[in-house]
Amino acid sequence: FPNNAFSLQINLRLILVSGKTKEFLFSPNDSAADIAKHVYDNWPMDWEEEQVSSPNILRLIYQGRFLHGNVTLGALKLPFGKTTVMHLVARETLPEPNSQGQRNREKTGESNCCVIL
């Protein structure tokens, strides 16, 4: 299926904070971690100033959300044959996915503070 495989690829246009862009082709089975590794291993010449020390700190942002490393492009239901834009940032840690838990606890009225013994 070599000629058919091409049509099942997803074209990603990655944008750096600096505004530089580059397009890459990936398969739906590729995860965010695979993409970071591929981009790191094939770092574009004109991105030299933004070169990072490790693929592990490269993060993808899609529609305003950080993608965790194990999320595949297929799971995001990205369209084949169209260009999908994502942002690529260097960041050591990701915001915790359950950061809203704090706010939800406040709404229930339970308070963990100010216990006087």
> Residue 79: its pLDDT value, please?
87
Supply the pTM of this predicted model.
0.74
**CA 105 remoteness from chain centre:** 28
**Domains of the chain (ranges plus CATH)?**
8-88 (3.10.20.90)
Identity of the residue numbered 1: F
Q: Give the Cα separation of 16 and 22 in Å (integer).
A: 9
Q: Give the Cα separation of 77 and 11 in Å (integer).
A: 13
> Residue 21: its pLDDT value, please?
97
| Phi, psi dihedrals of residue 14, rounded to the nearest 5° | -95, 135
In the predicted structure, residue 99 carries a pLDDT above the cut 70: no
